[in-house]
């Protein structure tokens, strides 16, 4: 431990975000990194405590506590403080395939579990991770390192999101020949088309994909496995298959008027905007524009917030974010103790921008849509909102929501984006391979494994566990790769 009193001497500092009214003028990332001197001070704040909860990656009361990748956080924090950036990168890469992604989009359960956060501010772990990986690229440390020996085994990975990429990266490093199949025109899956550019610039993804190509990974885009490309052909041509297609079946809203034009799923909206941005800098007219429209976003999670940030950049007339759950407290409740994930109200970048532009928080809590209104041409023109109350069913004990009589309120809505989560993987892929699904619509695997009921077929990421964090997807991809490697070679040295 380089600085025993660092957490007492230095305050927590994070990168500065551009002012909301300035950053909404474009779709670029908007944080200014810390100086090297300040970053080393932030590394010094790490206590290297006896029990580093930050790297635990365990579930507590159904929530993640600490890093699911078990990143060696105290080690590379200390290496940052001492200025040993090359070794910090080596320790970081030992557990995390893609720190360039997680340092941008992960909600940082590591920081929520940091011991410094028990009586003060946690270490800025996410900032430190960003500094390590970006410096590694700048100094050539993150350049391609192809495997020296090939095993002669061929593995197909279906899906190029974080789970698929992590599996491909690990198996390629082991020496297997890996081909990644992606049905979209660009690799990256959720990272490419599910997360807006201002949150994760696509040049960051392209940079890593190029490294993987140089290391030998083959990417086949515009290939829809299970439809045009038959599963039987894949099983014949490859020794193992890993399914990592995500939980891509969006949850719908069943309300009168749902069929009106101008109501769409958030994932389709965000994908179209990003694709248009990358293809033509938004000049091709191939995405839905919120310019001058009153927008209603249904869903209070990260995807809903991403929609808010996007429609503000498009120049919407107003935006309302409908959340069925009650507002979380501003500070931890007594029954939500450290190191549990803090169930507190978070105002994210999109909501900050809405407040700056419209002077109020776009969120309305304990509310749902009772009905969609449409005009004579069939286009949505309004939404009837209704308050809901939560109560336990006396028979089952389950908490249920019910509308509050007389609480209806109609608001203008020219565009409605449904960001209500996902219900599981798209069934046609599972059917094509003959793999079984569980009760939630996710691919079923052997207990404690990633093996499906079909020989040589594995599943990982959201397709196996349901909608989750990018960091969990990376862990799942790495672990599925280990299982596939063991099946191919009879043993594995992957971790």
17 burial type by CB count under 10 A (0-12 exposed, 13-18 middle, 19+ buried) = middle
Which domains does the chain show, CATH number per domain?
6-138 (1.10.1060.10), 154-248+423-489 (3.50.50.60), 263-418 (3.50.50.60)
Please, are residues 216 and 177 in contact by the beta-carbon 8 Å criterion? yes
CA-to-CA dists, residue 265 to 416, 417, 422, angstroms: 8, 5, 11
Which positions of the chain have pLDDT values less than 70?
1-2
pLDDT at position 2? 65
Per-residue tokens: 367:
């509310």
**Look-up of token digits 């365990």:** 58
Q: Say what the pTM is.
A: 0.96
Whole-number pLDDT of residue 353: 98
- pLDDT, residue 424, reads 85
Q: CA-CA distance, 153 to 352, in Å (whole number)?
A: 50
Q: What pLDDT shows up at residue 177?
A: 98
CA-wise closest residue to 471 among 91, 95, 171: 95
Degrees, nearest 5: CA angle 489-58-109: 110
């Amino acid at each position: 431990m380089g600085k025993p009193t660092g957490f007492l001497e230095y305050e927590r500092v994070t990168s500065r975000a551009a002012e909301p009214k300035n950053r909404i003028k474009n779709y670029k990332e908007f944080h200014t990194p810390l100086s090297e001197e300040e970053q080393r001070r932030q590394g010094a704040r790490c206590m290297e405590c006896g029990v580093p909860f930050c790297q635990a990656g365990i579930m507590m009361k159904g929530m993640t506590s600490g890093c699911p990748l078990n990143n060696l956080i105290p080690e590379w924090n200390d290496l940052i403080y001492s200025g040993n950036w090359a070794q910090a990168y080596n320790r970081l890469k030992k557990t995390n395939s893609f720190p360039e992604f997680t340092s941008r989009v992960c909600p940082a359960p590591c920081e929520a579990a940091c011991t410094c956060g028990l009586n003060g501010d946690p270490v800025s772990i996410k900032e430190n991770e960003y500094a390590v990986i970006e410096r590694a690229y700048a100094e050539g440390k993150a350049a391609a390192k192809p495997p020296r020996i090939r095993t002669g085994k061929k593995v197909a990975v279906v899906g190029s999101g974080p789970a698929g990429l992590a599996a491909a990266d690990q198996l390629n490093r082991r020496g297997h020949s890996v081909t990644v199949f992606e049905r979209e025109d660009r690799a990256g899956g959720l990272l490419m088309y599910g997360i807006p550019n201002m949150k994760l610039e696509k040049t960051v993804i392209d940079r890593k994909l190029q490294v993987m190509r140089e290391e030998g990974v083959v990417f086949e885009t515009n290939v829809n496995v299970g439809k045009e490309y038959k599963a039987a052909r894949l099983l014949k041509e490859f020794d193992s298959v890993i399914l990592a297609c995500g939980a891509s079946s969006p949850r719908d809203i069943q309300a009168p008027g749902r069929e009106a034009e101008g109501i769409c799923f958030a994932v389709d909206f965000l994908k179209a905007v990003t694709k248009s941005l990358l293809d033509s800098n938004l000049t091709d007219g191939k995405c839905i524009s919120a310019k001058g429209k009153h927008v209603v976003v249904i869903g209070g999670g990260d995807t809903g917030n991403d929609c808010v940030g996007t429609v503000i950049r498009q120049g919407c007339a107003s935006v309302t974010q409908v959340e069925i759950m009650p507002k979380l407290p501003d500070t931890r409740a007594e029954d939500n103790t450290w190191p549990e994930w803090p169930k507190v109200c978070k105002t994210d970048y999109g909501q900050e921008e809405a407040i700056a532009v419209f002077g109020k928080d776009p969120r309305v809590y304990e509310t749902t849509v009772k009905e969609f209104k449409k005009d004579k041409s069939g286009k949505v023109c309004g939404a009837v909102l209704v308050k809901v109350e939560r109560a336990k069913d006396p028979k089952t004990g389950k908490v249920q929501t019910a509308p509050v009589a007389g609480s209806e309120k109609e608001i203008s809505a020219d565009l409605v984006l449904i960001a209500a989560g996902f219900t599981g993987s798209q069934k046609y892929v599972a059917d094509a391979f003959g793999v079984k699904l569980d009760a939630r619509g996710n691919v079923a695997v052997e207990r404690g494994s990633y093996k499906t009921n079909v020989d040589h077929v594995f599943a990982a990421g959201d397709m196996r566990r349901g909608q989750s964090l990018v960091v969990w997807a990376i862990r799942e991809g790495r672990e599925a790769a280990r299982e596939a490697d063991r099946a191919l070679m009879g043993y594995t040295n992957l971790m």
